């Protein structure tokens, strides 16, 4: 009897152990499923949070961009200049152009000179910051009662103007070194074009260092090839009236004060006023 009872107890213990093993296996599977489900939920939550964060940042960026640069405008950077950084020829205007300026529309640049009227078309979409600088400086009468201080008749043929210190009769050694109390980057460069600066082009002068555009500009009175002058100078506009005046000055020649074919124009060009008006 004892052996039968022993066998029954062993069988019962075996069944119990089997049931416990099955329960443990089932519990492990349940925990695994729960862990997998929990992980999946966590992934979904994290992914959703990431999507929300990216969307929120994009909205913030869009709001920030919209707030800082309104539609129809571009941002311009104006680098301050004073006597210490730009030399004694710097003329203080009491401020700078706006940080955001229009990049649509056209204007007419008008030079009233002692030799007659010169006009040019200016496209704000191509050179918005330069156009804004001209609007600002013209409003300050920056160029009024100045004169074109340089003429080149060999290599490149240009008449250069825009120095606020070039005033009165006669010339000084410092003519050509003046500018406003700010500088800005070049734009609308004629890269890949030849001639780079066709006859009648108004372009901005600068030093050999990029980002030094100011108030000085030159008018090409003959085509200028890429070999003669690289595409490093902002194209502001094109002469529409008065090109004969510039050609007349070029024909009269230079005093060669800088070098052969480079100096002050013998036929002086006095700028009475420079204005910018909507076209």
Ranges of each domain in the chain: 1-68, 79-278
CA distance 125 to 77: 17
Query: Residue 54's pLDDT is what?
Result: 44
Residue 56 DSSP code: H
The candidate with the shortest Cα–Cα distance to 95, out of 40, 136, 51, is 136
DSSP reduced 3-state for 96: coil
Query: pLDDT (tens digit, 0 to 9) for every residue of the chain, 279 residues total?
Result: 445 545 544 444 444 444 444 444 444 555 554 544 344 434 333 444 444 444 554 555 444 444 578 899 999 999 999 999 888 899 999 999 999 999 999 999 999 999 999 999 999 999 999 999 999 999 999 999 999 999 999 999 999 999 999 987 667 666 778 999 999 999 999 999 999 999 999 999 999 999 999 999 999 999 999 999 999 999 999 999 999 999 999 999 999 999 999 999 999 999 999 999 999
Query: Residue 32's pLDDT is what?
Result: 52
Query: Residue 188's pLDDT is what?
Result: 98
Query: Residue 69's pLDDT is what?
Result: 80
Where does residue 243 rank: exposed (0-12), middle (13-18), buried (19+ CB within 10 A)?
middle
CA distance 158 to 263: 11
Q: What is the CATH number of domain 79-278?
A: 2.40.100.10
What number of other Cβ atoms are within 10 A of residue 258's Cβ? Answer: 14
Structure tokens at 265: 């124009």
CA distance 110 to 112: 6
Cβ atoms of residues 242 and 111 within 8 Å: yes
CA distance 205 to 10: 106
The candidate with the shortest Cα–Cα distance to 194, out of 220, 226, 222, 219, is 226
Read off the pTM.
0.75
Q: Identify the bridge partners of residue 157 per DSSP, sorted by sequence position.
A: none
Cβ atoms of residues 278 and 170 within 8 Å: no
Query: Residue 66's pLDDT is what?
Result: 46
Query: Residue 5's pLDDT is what?
Result: 46
CA distance 254 to 268: 10
């Amino acid at each position: 009897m004892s052996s039968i009872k022993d066998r029954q107890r062993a069988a019962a213990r075996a069944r119990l152990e089997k049931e416990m093993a099955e329960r443990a296996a089932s519990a492990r599977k349940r925990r695994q499923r729960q862990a997998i489900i929990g992980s999946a939920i966590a992934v979904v939550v994290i992914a959703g949070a990431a999507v929300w964060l990216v969307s929120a940042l994009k909205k913030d960026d869009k709001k920030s961009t919209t707030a800082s640069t309104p539609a129809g405008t571009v941002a311009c950077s104006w680098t301050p200049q004073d006597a210490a950084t730009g030399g004694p020829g710097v003329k203080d205007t009491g401020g700078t152009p706006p940080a955001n300026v229009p990049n649509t529309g056209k204007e007419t640049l008008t030079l009233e000179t002692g030799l007659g009227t010169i006009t040019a078309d200016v496209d704000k979409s191509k050179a918005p910051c330069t156009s804004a600088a001209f609007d600002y400086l013209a409003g300050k009468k920056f160029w009024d009662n100045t004169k074109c201080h340089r003429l080149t008749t060999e290599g490149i043929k240009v008449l250069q103007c825009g120095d606020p210190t070039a005033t009165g009769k006669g010339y000084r050694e410092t003519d050509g070194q003046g500018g406003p109390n700010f500088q800005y980057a070049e734009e609308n460069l004629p890269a890949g074009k030849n001639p780079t600066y066709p006859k009648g082009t108004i372009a901005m002068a600068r030093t050999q260092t990029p980002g030094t555009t100011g108030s000085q500009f030159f008018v090409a009175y003959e085509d200028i090839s890429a070999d003669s002058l690289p595409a490093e100078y902002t194209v502001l506009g094109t002469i529409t009236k008065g090109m004969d005046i510039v050609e007349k000055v070029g024909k009269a020649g230079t005093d060669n004060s800088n070098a052969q074919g480079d100096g002050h124009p013998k036929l002086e060009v006095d700028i009475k006023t420079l204005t910018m008006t909507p076209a």
